[in-house]
Each structure stands twice: as structure tokens, then as C-alpha cells.
A and B are shown apart, each in its own frame.
Chain A
């Protein structure tokens, strides 16, 4: 794992060309140079040269949603996201984190996490509790918004039903990593994923006792917790029994790719092998001749939002679109800036509500311009961003995962 000090050359390499100004969703809202990569690198460079105390920078680096958009454009090829996370880890180690985050960390570090209640679930539950309303002051007046966001997460669109497979069973060992939302909060996507796979003759192995992927810990710089979660999850898998490791959450998928960077020895080796087997559900499904019922009498326009952790981290963007365009009764319509950040970004919508909401609102406007009836994405956090934006535009629209749409088609055809 690279520490902040190891990035000093990268930080110095920023030529201040300013190209990142075009990419950064946060700068679009703030217009403030101190809130995006060029400013961050200027500041970090200043800190590494003792012109600014490093701990003063935490406040500014917190503006980054870690969406990686600037990295796509950066002529010098510097990853703001990596460096910012390294800096956050430094701040965490030195106790320079905000009060809100501290309280999250405390809850997070209690053994509740590994025992059962997922971290994300904790957040969503907590959202409804008075504690957060006090902490977040400004948000308490936005009860409607909060309840819409919470609703977006609690509606279980797809209930599990055993479906008989079409054709022969496939000889594939596919282990499914469901992630916290599926596990502890709302199993709709998990139900859909399992049903779609079963219908197509693929039995997912859903038995292992997985914990949270660890991303919330990494996001606040608590690398120790992240690493222990990584080890726990890797320990659940038998390498002899796995051809694919399937995720439907963009973030969980990304995390399996990066585990090796944080581990050493045996764990690292195992993590490297698993990273090769790690595959997003849509990339997995489109390899097969998916069963598609005829006579689907529906006529829906569907659009798709690219989660940053899926498109930029895992390079999966064509597959979900291909999957959607296969579905009967559905017309796929591309939205403008489909790969721009949705504004939610883990805890960002809580820590920077103003900016987060403006970003989400722009996203929602692009969704509404497609005249879509349904918006899809492949990440529970993005679901928050999309619901938040739509709610701010006073519109209600279902936010699904593409697999939920297919599961729903199967389901209706069966009844």
C-alpha cells in the first residue's frame, strides 16, 4: 500500500495545466480552485515542502467525491483519487478527521460490523434517527428528501422465487459477493441476480459468510479496518471451487480488484487470483445467450447511469447497455453525461449535502431529458444520488438495476 510520502513525485508532476477543471463535478458547483485536483496537488506540494501544515488540508480534500473523472483527462496521468485516499489515511492515522466522521468510525470499529449489521445498513438506519438530524443540522429541514432517499433504498422490487432453468445447467462455479445492501438491507437486487442466473442454468454460490467489502473504512482512511475486512472476505473463498466471483455492486466489484494492493504474502497471492476471477454481473451475463421471453407487452424507455466504480475502475460500460438493449419491451435511451458523478459517493451526500445535491440535480435533469420511464444503474450508492436528484426535481421515478428488469420480466411470464 502506497503512503502519501510515496506520492510526492506524482504530486510534483502536476503541471497545473487545468484540464481537470473540465472534468470535476465538484468544481462545476463550487468554482473554487481549492476543491479539485489542481488545487489539491498545489496544496499537497506546498505541504510536502513545509509551506502548509498537512493537517490543514483535510478540510479541502474532503471536497473530492473520488469519482476519478479528472484522472481520465489528466495529461500527466496523476490519480487524484489514489493520492487523496492516501492523504485521508494519513489524516486518519493522525486523528485529523471531522466530528461526523469520527462518530461513524467509532460505530464502524465496534464489532457490530463483522457480526452482522452492515455498515451501510447502519448509515441508512441512522439516517432515520434523530442523531443524524442533529449532526447534520442543515439537512433536518429536508425531511422529504431524506425520506425519499430512504424509500429508494427500502423498496424491495423483486421478491425471490425459484424459477426453473431453461436448457441445461451450466457447469460453472460462480461465487456471488452480494455486498452490505443486499445482505442486510434490501435483497431485491440479490434476488434478481440469483433468479436471472438460475433461469439461465447458473447456480450462484451464495453461501459464504461475507462481510462488508470495506470501502467505507477506506473512504475515511481507516486502512486497518479495511485490511481486516479484506482478509475476512478472502478467507471465505475456496480457490478450488471458483471460476467467477460475481458482484452486482460497482463498488464491491472495484474493491475485489484493489484488495491485492493492500495485502501481503499469502493473502496478496490469493487476492490476485481472485481479482482475475472477479467480474461484474453484466459482463458475466452478456457472455451467454440469455433467455429472453417473447410477447412481452411493454413499452418502456430506460436509461442508464454509469457508476464511477464500474466504468472507470472496472472498465465496464458497454455490457450493461448491451444487456438492457436485449431486454424485450424496453427501449434504451442514452442520457447526456451518463458517466458524470451522481453526487452521492458513499458518505459524501451526508458530509457535503449542498454540493452533493447540486450534482445530483444536474444528473436528474439529464435523466428527465431522455423522457425515460425508468432509470437504471449498477450501484446502491448511485441509487441514492439518482433518487436524491429526482426528488429535488420533484419527480418520482423508479431506480432499478438492469437485472431487476429482467427478473421482473421472468416473474411476470411465470405468473
Chain B
């Protein structure tokens, strides 16, 4: 269905040039397109080159671009910061990469109604900073929020450590402006927190990975900014103790904003590359953040400390000031980077299991890594049962790569057996499309295909992702 023969591409490009009036907003050089053949997914030496890259500056231009693409039935792959780990932005069937880097305006922040409207390319952290200036809070916090875009995080339903208490991106999307496969601009959802007018189409777009339409603007729900917060770092001799401590904290009706987990290997690696004085002999550590009214927090921190000791914690550190809190967060946030320094490549997986199955899942990860002789550091969000095993390896070593592929498939089976699933927050994209039938029945997949077909009958929106034809 896709055309990539040179004659029509030239035509497509000349029509695109009429839409994108600035010459810097259309990239046709081989070298420029080469940069857009990749996202953060490690795909090795494979090369899927787009035919052209466009940087539209407003919704109208996006609609015009989509009209041209629809006319020639050429694929459009939307790209935010290109930081996804599932090959979501890889132009598998060439076509147009539509980069939202210039759709980066915050349109409005409504202090009275606790909502805001932002263009798709606005960076999550930037939005958070702007709303916080007004005493408001946008909680979703993918760990790369410094670069992750609102559009990308909606399209992937991203979330982060704070998900346990506050939920993820999906819980904050009220309405969307979307450009359809035919180039029409539609507004779905609304700007009220309650809304039961027909099918909830905005939620359908959350996590749709650019396969149903191009999100150009998002209306988000905000909440009041918590007065203060406190961080604790707790060490355990066994991952089982850490997991029971988590359950115990929750059963005491405490809802921390973060319940993050690092295993021994992770701490060891962090210490190696970004020394902050983390002990390296404990089996696991929890990073626990609580927020709310200052007095309550003080009491809760003490309570958590007690509960942890009762569950055989070996050491509990309560941050005394902002500096200590920053240090704890620095250690946690450096984890990915540290793993990345061990070997040239790092593959981050994203399994999710029911919370009380975390110890079994961590053990399964360790066992599988041992079996296939792979280097793995496991970290994750213990509150949500979401684990990120980070494998560090050299993908040029084909034999090692093959071992990894086998290990990953076994891990998915383990997660599914424990009642979990393939992806907590990183999405399906091209990397996991082949595993979809492990978690969804044929009927479910058929319905998904029907949905895809009704939004995008010619399969020009990010083809080859989520569903394999």
C-alpha cells in the first residue's frame, strides 16, 4: 500500500514545501533523514530511512501534511522527543516523519478550573514548571521528563514513580485535538473532569502510539501542588522483605507518592559510576517519597520507618533536608545512566505483575539472566508491580544478542504466568508487536484491528506498530 517510488516522493516533497513555508522545516538531505531513522530503541545496524522529515509549526500545517500523505497514501510517523523504547518512531515503511519539536507552546493554564492546554511537542518538565509557578501540579513523571513530550507521553500512556499515588498520563487527559488520517482536525473529549458524552474517544488515543491520529493539542487535568514532601531510603537483606514492607505500608493506609525499588546489582553499578555512598551489599533498597501537609508527613515518615524495621529493614535513611533528598533521587535517577556505562548498549524491559508477585518476578529475572549469562540490573516501581530489568550488553556480539532475545521472551512468559503483562509503560511499538497474541485473544485483536481500520483504513498512520497485519 505504501509508495516509496521516487517520482511520487518528489511530488510529495514539492507539495509539502508549499505547506511548510520555512525551508528549515522540511528536511530532505540523506544525512538529516538518517538521524530520524532511529529513536531510543536499540535496533542495531538496521536502517529504516524516512523519505522526508517535516517540522510543522501549527495544527493547520499538520492537517495539510496529512492531506498530502492521504492523497499519495504515504505513511506518516509522528515523533515527539523520540525517546520511546519500543521502536515507536522508526519509519518501518519509510514515508514522512512528522516531528513535533516546533509545536511547543503552552496555550493556557486555567487556575480556577485546574486545567491546561498544551501543544503536543511541549516537554513534560516545562509544563510542570509552568503550572507549579501557579501552585498547581501535573503529576505524571516518566523518568526522562526533561525531554519527553506531552504528545509522546499521551501516545504511549507514560507514567513514572508517582503513578502509585497519582496515576499516569491516562488519568490526566481530558480532551484532545487530533488530526485524522484524512487530514481533518477533530476535537474529542472536553475540558471538564466529568464527561460522559458518548464513547470516550480521548482515552482511545491514550497509548495509541500514533496509529490512530496525530495529537496536536492536549487538555490536561491539574491538581493543587502538595505543600511538602519527604524522601526515605530503606535497605533490605532480601527482596522478599522489601516487598512485604511495601504491602505493609499500604495496608497501614499510607499512600506514598513513590515506592521505587533498586536491586543490589543496580546499587553496585550506581556506586561504580556515580558514587553517592550507597551501600552495595544489601539485596534491595526502596526509595519512598511521601507528600502532603508538612505535619502529616513528619508523622508518616516515622510510621514508615517503624514498619520497615518491623519487616527486617537493615537501615532507614530519612532525608534531613533538600540536599539529602536530592542525593537520594540522584542515586535513583542515575541508575539507568550507570547501567548504560557498563557496556555499550542497554536494553530496558518493562514487565508488570500484581504487586505481591514482585519477589517472584525479580527472582525470575535473576534466574533467566543467569541462565543466559546476561548482565542485568533490576529497578522499578514496587507500588505498581512494574519492573525494569536493564540488560547491559554489546549488540554487536550477535551471540549475546540472541541470548537476550530468548531471555526476554522467557521473561514475558514468566510475567504473564504471574498474572502480569508485557508493558507497564513503554508501549508495544514494533518491538513487542510479535508478542501481542500472548496477552490478547484473537477476538480482542480482531476488535483492535477494526478500530485501527475505522480510523486509518489505508494503514498510513505509523504502520507496522502494535498490530501486525
Contacts and interface: CB of A to CB of B under 8 A. Distances in A.
Interface residues of A, number: 33
B42 A15 contact: yes
A74 B341 CA distance: 10
Interface residues of B, number: 41
A365 to B, nearest CB: 16
Nearest to B104: A31
Contact of A22 (B31, B32, B146): B146
The interface residues of chain A, by DSSP majority, are classed as helix
Best-surrounded residue of B30, B34, B125, B146 (most CB of chain A within 10 A): B34
Interface in B134-154: 144, 146-147
B341 A16 contact: no
A15 B345 contact: yes
A73 B145 CA distance: 13
B408 to A, nearest CB: 17
Contacts of B463: none
Nearest to B343: A13
A42 interface: yes
Contacts of A74: 337
A77 B336 CA distance: 12
Given A18-B144, A56-B31, A75 B337 contact: yes
Given A16-B40, A75-B341, A39 B147 contact: no
B337 A33 contact: no
Given A15-B340, A49-B45, A76-B340, A33 B31 contact: no
A73 to B, nearest CB: 8
Contacts of A15: 40, 42, 340, 345-346
A46 B147 CA distance: 24
B31 A32 contact: no
A273 interface: no
B183 interface: no
B419 interface: no
A354 to B, nearest CB: 9
Given A18-B147, A22-B147, A33-B99, A42 B35 contact: yes
Best-surrounded residue of B42, B99, B344 (most CB of chain A within 10 A): B344
Nearest to B345: A15
B38 interface: yes
Nearest to B126: A22
Contacts of A60: 31-32
Interface string B39-82: 11110010100000001000000000000000000000000011
Interface in A14-53: 15-19, 21-22, 27, 30-34, 38-39, 42-43, 46, 49, 51-52
A57 B29 CA distance: 11
A33 B344 contact: no
Contacts of B344: 9, 12-13
Interface in B331-373: 334, 336-338, 340-341, 344-346
B428 to A, nearest CB: 19
A13 B344 CA distance: 4
B86 to A, nearest CB: 13
A33 B82 contact: yes
A49 B396 CA distance: 12
Contacts of A49: 45
Given A15-B42, A17-B83, A22 B99 contact: no
Contacts of B40: 15-18
Interface in B91-148: 99, 101-102, 104, 123, 125, 144, 146-147
A27 B302 CA distance: 45
Interface of A: 9, 12-13, 15-19, 21-22, 27, 30-34, 38-39, 42-43, 46, 49, 51-52, 56-57, 59-60, 73-77
Given A16-B39, A32-B32, 10 more contacts: A12-B344, A12-B396, A18-B81, A18-B82, A19-B144, A22-B147, A31-B101, A42-B37, A56-B31, A74-B337
Interface of B: 24, 27, 29-32, 34-42, 45, 47, 55, 81-83, 99, 101-102, 104, 123, 125, 144, 146-147, 273, 334, 336-338, 340-341, 344-346, 396
25 contacts: A12-B396, A13-B340, A15-B42, A15-B345, A16-B40, A17-B40, A18-B81, A21-B81, A22-B125, A27-B101, A31-B101, A32-B101, A34-B32, A34-B35, A42-B34, A42-B37, A43-B35, A49-B45, A52-B30, A52-B34, A56-B30, A59-B31, A60-B32, A76-B337, A77-B273
